[in-house]
Amino acid sequence: MFDPPQSKAPANQSGKPGSAPVAPQKPPSPTPPAVSRPTPPAPSRPMNQVPSAIPKPAPVAPPVVSKPAPPASAPRSLGEGGAAPKVEVKPPFAKLESDLSAPKVETTKPKGAGEIEDIFSDVNLGSMEKSGAIKGLGMEPAGQKSLLKPALIGLGAVVILTVAGFLVWFLLIRPEPSLAPAVPFAPAPSTEEMVVEQPPVVEVAEEPVVETPPVTEPPEGTQVPLPESITPSVPVVVQPVAASDMDNDGLTDAEEVIFGTNANVTDSDGDGYSDLTEIQSGYDPSAPGARLVDSTHFRKQVLGEVWETLLPTTWLVRLDEVFSNIYKIDTGALAFISVKFSAKPAEMIFADWLTANEPMIVPASLDNFTAKSGYAAAQTSDHLTTFLTTDTSVITLSYVSNGAAALDFPLIYDFLVQNLNLAK
């Protein structure tokens, strides 16, 4: 509780030289002091109220003491010898600070039962709104409403109306779908089934029934002829015939070209010896006294790495594509000569080896002789296959006509058989 302030008598204030005296003013009557009341506990601050940074005004304020006015006899003049009176200029927020700091005297009003006390009734929101304090703090007066709430309300109304319209259309306006009876699915017939042609009906003539005569046994003592034996048909192999020999000297016309001799003369070089005799003796029939090994028409050829012989220079030798022990001598025509090297155990005789490796050839059908090289030889009756035998190997030389109608090179084949020897 505050004590009433003592009234002070106005003192005569002497102004500056030349100023008029001020008349005394009657002081106002003192205001009775307000009864103080206990401050209730502060409730929790809502989001839109003034933050705690603004000081809350005290509920009880001391009595307002008015400042004595200057005497009436002291007129305010600007032209008299003194200076003009001072006018106090307050800052823009002076009024707001005075409103917040100056206490006001309130009379207590008895509250009824159940009435809630307003603890912010003493705050002057009008002055705060005019000064811009509320806007600076991010608050708005209660009279201004936010635009977010109406927007949300409008959006919710649109959604509700849309859903309600769809339900009305679906339940009341939408036409009922017609329920057609289910049709069983039948696969379409394929094109092949539709285009299948019926085979023409062929009338089969009935075969006449042949009655089998009864079998009668011949009388005793009668000889019944036996049926002829049925022999299987064997394909006939056409053997080539002898080739043309115009001078009948033992050399075919094809061989006369290889040796370089005259096909119309038996002694081409005129040395007194026939062309056939000179070839069998190892001489060149186209040059008197020349050996065949030195002739330009023949060359030495190695076969099987360790065997060698003389061959015409125009003939080629190549290894078989399948068997590595077979050499093929190409004559430049259809016919060719095959040379095959086979192993033989040392204790096995040639007849046993021939039975085991060439079962189609009978050993007794071969012509046996000794070649000029010194090896035992056995030749078939057609003179187209010859076997040369050593202690550990058998060399098979075959003249293959390969579809040729004539034997064009029999003399050269025989020369190869007689002169095949180990390489020196």
Domain boundaries, the chain: 314-405
Token reading at 156: 């919710």
Query: What backbone torsions phi and psi does residue 422 show, to the nearest 5 degrees?
Result: -70, 145
Joined tokens for residue 301:
């050829």
What is the strand order of the sheet 367-370 is part of? 316-319, 326-330, 336-343, 393-400, 385-389, 376-379, 367-370
Nearest by Cα to 62 from 121, 100, 104? 104
Q: Are 259 and 280 in contact (CB under 8 A)?
A: no
Quote the Cα angle for 386-392-397, to 5°. 20
Strands 406-407 and 241-242: parallel
> Quick one: tokens of 330?
């190409």
* Cβ–Cβ < 8 Å for 82, 17: yes
Q: What is the pLDDT along the chain (424 residues), one digit of tens a residue?
A: 444 444 444 444 444 444 444 444 555 555 555 545 555 555 445 444 444 445 555 555 555 555 555 554 444 444 444 444 555 555 554 454 455 454 554 445 555 555 555 665 665 655 555 555 555 444 555 445 567 888 888 899 999 999 998 888 888 887 766 655 555 555 555 555 555 566 666 666 666 666 666 666 666 666 656 555 545 454 555 678 889 999 999 999 999 999 999 999 999 999 999 999 999 999 999 999 999 999 999 999 999 888 999 999 999 999 998 999 999 999 999 999 999 999 999 999 999 999 999 999 999 999 999 999 999 999 999 999 999 999 999 999 999 999 999 999 999 999 999 999 988 7
CA dihedral 367, 368, 373, 374 (to 10 degrees): -170
Reported pTM: 0.46
Supply the pLDDT for residue 85. 52
- Helical (H) or strand (E) element with 307: strand 307-312
Q: How many other CB atoms are found less than 10 A from the CB of residue 249?
A: 23
**pLDDT in the model for residue 175:** 73
CA distance 136 to 92: 15
